[in-house]
Amino acid sequence: MGGYTSGKIIRMMNPATGKMVDEIEVSYRPYFIYALPGGQAIVGHTLRPWEEEVYACEVLDMNSNTVAKTLYYKGIVLEVLHPPEGKFYIGITDVDQKYGGYTLVEFDPQTNDTVGEPITLRTDFMFETAAFATSSKIYAPKPPAEGEMSSGWTLAVLEFPSGNTLKTIPVSDWPHDIIVVGQKTYVTQFSGVPTLDPENQGTISVIDVNTDQVLKTLTVCTGPQHIAYSESTGKIYVACVKGKISVIDPS
């Protein structure tokens, strides 16, 4: 759509027919959607209007296809974290250095509201994605020290809620996305510079959440970025930069 609403529309499709059935206008350009129980979803935005000092985050009612509530934060909402005990946390990347580090805000889908005070992980490095390995442990990408090559990337194991680094796990490249399925963590790794060489494949590190040990490294399509698990199929889907999708059987 053109005009004032350009880039602010979320379209709903019927998966059986592939046809658009409805649309929702949100506050700004949507970056991600995370489905919540009860037919709700969280929408985050990586940009904000130049005159604003806060970033919007919408709560959608997918039963009525409407915006139920808009929340505002001083950083970018890039994801929703879901620890094993069943809570939901809105993950805020501190791009404008307003919080002092990556910050989590507990969200209650029953009330469409936040719970308690924000929890800031005061690490000595910045990151944009994270995942709960256990209820008291978070995995987050840690960049190489200044002057190191890209192979210096690790996965930091952070204590929650203090943010203290307990250890680091070596990985082969820049971690882009992290999911936990059962007792295993899957980490996509991609340097950010895709090549036309078909032999240069992407990799996924599979990590045991209890021991923090790399169990295996899987070869997937070049440039793996986003990763998701489908409960209906029991499979993991990896989206890559060349328009390809790799499918992993976690069993």
pLDDT tens, position by position, 108-133: 999 989 999 999 999 999 999 999 99
**Residue-wise DSSP of 25-74:** E-SS---EEEEETTTEEEEE-S---TT-SSEEEEEEETTTTEEEEEEEES
Q: Where are the domains of the chain?
A: 1-120
- CA-derived radius of gyration, the chain: 18
Give the other-Cβ count within 10 Å of 240's Cβ.
20
Residue 135 dihedral angles phi and psi, to the nearest 5°:
-65, -20
Residues 6+ positions from 195 with CB-CB distance below 8 Å? 222
- Output b/e per residue, 204-231; b: 16+ Cβ within 10 A: bbbbebeebebeeebebbbbbeebebee
Residues in the chain: 251
**Cβ–Cβ < 8 Å for 179, 188:** no
Give Dmax (Cα) for the chain: 53
Does CATH number 2.60.40.420 belong to domain 1-120? Answer: no
Q: Which of 130, 232, 128 is nearest to 180 (CA)?
A: 130
Residues 6+ positions from 155 with CB-CB distance below 8 Å? 139, 140, 141, 142, 168, 169, 171, 175, 178, 187, 205, 207
The pLDDT score that the predictor gives to residue 148 is 57
**Which neighbouring-strand residues pair with 248?**
236
The pLDDT score that the predictor gives to residue 1 is 31
**Cβ–Cβ < 8 Å for 178, 154:** no
**Cβ–Cβ < 8 Å for 41, 60:** yes
State the 10-residue block means of pLDDT for the chain, 251 residues long: 60 90 91 91 87 90 94 94 95 95 96 94 93 97 75 92 96 92 95 58 92 96 91 94 92 89
The pLDDT score that the predictor gives to residue 2 is 32
